[in-house]
Amino acid sequence: MEYTLFIEADWNDADYITEVITVDEKTLNLVKKVCKVIGKEKRHNWPLHERSEILPKEKYKDFLTEDEIDEFEELVPHGDPGIHSIVEIKYAPKVNWKKVL
């Protein structure tokens, strides 16, 4: 089954960027696993900002593999100069729209 995944990230203290993509069940399970880990952080839960002192690979190395972090990083939106927090993630079964007009 495929899902539509919505990810909203903060790149500059309330400046948001979003990514909406289609994922399979395996990828969705990875996203759920990452959410359990980063959901414990109140601020700067996915520090990819150019001024970040610690990157996700270092911050979450005791909870996620490097491959899991890399795969998740490919899914998140990337602003300029980078993001510092994942604000919201939600998903729904993919809908196949039929154009009638």
pLDDT tens digits for range 47-88? 988 888 899 999 999 999 999 999 999 999 987 888 999 999
Q: Does pLDDT of 31 surpass 90?
A: yes
pLDDT classification of 43: cutoffs 50, 70, 90: confident
Integer Rg of the chain from CA = 14
The pLDDT of residue 13 is: 83
**pLDDT, mean over the chain:** 94
Q: Cα dist. 32→12, 14, 36, 80 in Å?
A: 25, 24, 6, 26
pLDDT classification of 42: cutoffs 50, 70, 90: confident
3-state helix, strand, coil in the chain (%, to 5): 30, 25, 45
